[in-house]
Structure 1
Amino acid sequence: MTADIGTGKQRHIGRWIAVSIVGVIVLALLAAIGWYFLRIAPSVEQTESIETAFPEESLRPTEDPEAGDAVNILLLGSDSRAQDGSLLTDLGDRADTILVAHIPPDRGTVQIMSIMRDSWVEVPGHGMSKVNAALSLGGVPLMVQTVESIIEQRIDHIAVIDFDGFENLTTALGGVTLTNDIAFSYYGYDYPAGEITVEGEEALIYVRARYPFSDGDYQRVYNQRAFLRGVFQQLMTRENLTNPDRVADIFAAVAPYVATSDTFTLPVVLGLAPSIAQLDGSDIRTFTMPTLGTGMEGSQSVVYVNWDGVEQIRAAFAEESMDAFEPAPER
């Protein structure tokens, strides 16, 4: 009888200790999350909001409840800030980088697809035109509608970054290491082939350069994706992910130069971070939307889209996993 009572007390004490430990862990996690929000929130408030980011629901691909929870993020790079301080003013004339980041449901990879700004596509309601013209003709909502019609999936989030933001990001990261495909020199900077580290203005010149190359924009978008791979790898280091002050400093450096849709909130970003943090460099894959080369449409120099190749990308984007996806060679 006494032994049973002792065992019962031990079990009660054991449960109490377990509950207490769990409680302490939960409180610690809540405190950490609260600290993140308090530390980062002021920077997030500096980001510009794209008030009307998406087209009418009737103009968008239908949501498929069976399709899983893939995430598609439209990234637009702007070449300078307008005088009124808004990233969105005259964006149609200034956005020359268009990328779709696709995170499949299994979170096993990140696919970053460049869409060349001169791609000759159907702009809804306006006929065939350069894809970049969608911004001039209908702003961000028409660009979203145009891209959604290309990939046949919904865009979940949108981010516009001014190139000054690129400079500040590289400085906050202490430089970005990347693999440079072709050696070139531009505006006083030398970029040898192979592994290089760029920072500040040197990084900005790297992602903007196209005149040093015989194929112009083709090599530029290739270099931009090499830069993005380097940024991802640098951001996702243990040093950055485990240092709240480091994360806050990076947010503060970039936030004034970013505009986002109201769907791209801090909780959303923090929700994606753990799964993306599991990835290594080989899981971040970049490619250009397939093309058939350049040509002329009237007085415009355009890039023709390889729609058979796009159909393969649409099919891959609709899959649960993209581990086996291999984009067609670009050159």
Structure 2
Amino acid sequence: MSIMRDSGVDIDNPVGFDSSALPERYFAEGPQRLNGTEALAFVRERYAFADGDFQRARNQQAFIKAVLGKSLTAETLTNPARISDLVGAIAPYLAVDDGLNSAYVAGLAVQLRDVRLGDVTFFTLPTTGTGTSPDGQSIVVIDQEKLKAVQQGFQTDTLDAYQPEVQTIE
């Protein structure tokens, strides 16, 4: 099973923009289907936006939401072959703890069989804005004080009470 290779992925683009990576490609606001090349340009774009990396993060979340929408189905989560294919397709692109192996993920998928896209919430870590790394790279700086609330939410299983702020450059 290829999530995108065969049929693309349907996203809901929050902001229309001209792609800096694909000449003459305009990503219109609203629903559209992306192939693999377009999806990569969509999630990497930052130069087209006044708030750069902040909008890129929102676009990445829109893409992940679309992929999850294709994946979080009973047909996928109750079919061991589809789970195996899905894990095999994404595993090379993840950095995880040693204990997170294919068997664990397969078991987790079965436990998630009743989870649907509406049950998933997306947000970014709180930031203090943008800056520059010692080697000159543009970076987004994590707000370490506000991060403590997110960490506490994960530790106490109360993250649903956390109210994230929409991050942007003012």
2:153–2:159 CA contact under 8 A, matched in 1: yes
- Structure 1 counterpart of 2:65, which letter? R
Please identify the structure whose Cα radius of gyration is greater.
1
Alignment of 1:284-299 (within 5 A): 284-296=120-132
1:291–1:303 CA contact under 8 A, matched in 2: yes
- 2:50 and 2:33 map into 1 onto residues whose CA distance is 24
> Which residue among 251, 262, 271 is the counterpart of 2:107?
271
Aligned length: 163
- Equivalent position of 1:219 in the other structure: 55
- Equivalent position of 1:207 in the other structure: 43
SS of equivalent to 2:12: strand
- 1:316 and 2:153 aligned: yes
State the Cα deviation string for residues 120-166 of structure 1 (Å, max 9, x = none). Answer: xxxxxxxxxxxxxxxxxxxxxxxxxxxxxxxxxxxxxxxxxxxxxxx
- Scaled by the length of structure 1, what TM-score is found? 0.43
1:294–1:304 CA contact under 8 A, matched in 2: yes
- 2:159 and 2:94 map into 1 onto residues whose CA distance is 29
- Structure 2 counterpart of 1:310, which letter? L
Relative to structure 1, the CA distance from residue 244 to residue 320 in structure 2 (aligned partners, 3 Å threshold; closer, same or farther) is closer
- 2:110 and 2:62 map into 1 onto residues whose CA distance is 23
- Equivalent position of 1:140 in the other structure: none
1:184–1:212 CA contact under 8 A, matched in 2: yes
Percent of aligned pairs sharing the same letter: 34
Relative to structure 1, the CA distance from residue 298 to residue 324 in structure 2 (aligned partners, 3 Å threshold; closer, same or farther) is closer
- Scaled by the length of structure 2, what TM-score is found? 0.78
- 1:170 and 2:4 aligned: yes
Alignment of 1:127-276 (within 5 A): 169-171=3-5, 174-186=7-19, 187=22, 188-251=24-87, 253-254=89-90, 261-276=97-112
Alignment of 1:79-158 (within 5 A): none
Alpha-carbon deviation of 1:197? 2.4
- Structure 2 counterpart of 1:181, which letter? P
SS of equivalent to 1:323: helix
Alpha-carbon deviation of 1:253? 4.4
- 1:329 and 2:163 aligned: no
Alpha-carbon deviation of 1:182? 0.7
- 1:324 and 1:270 map into 2 onto residues whose CA distance is 29
2:87–2:105 CA contact under 8 A, matched in 1: no
2:5–2:35 CA contact under 8 A, matched in 1: yes
SS of equivalent to 1:288: coil
Relative to structure 1, the CA distance from residue 244 to residue 311 in structure 2 (aligned partners, 3 Å threshold; closer, same or farther) is closer
Relative to structure 1, the CA distance from residue 311 to residue 185 in structure 2 (aligned partners, 3 Å threshold; closer, same or farther) is same
Of Structure 1 and Structure 2, which has the larger fraction of its residues in strand?
1
Segments of 5+ residues of structure 2 without an aligned counterpart are: none
- 1:323 and 1:190 map into 2 onto residues whose CA distance is 36
RMSD: 2.7
SS of equivalent to 1:277: coil
State the Cα deviation string for residues 174-231 of structure 1 (Å, max 9, x = none). Answer: 3222221111121043321122222221111111112211222221122111111211
Alpha-carbon deviation of 1:276? 2.5
Instruction: Choose between structure 1 and 2 for higher RCO, CA contacts under 8 A separated by at least 6 residues.
Output: 1
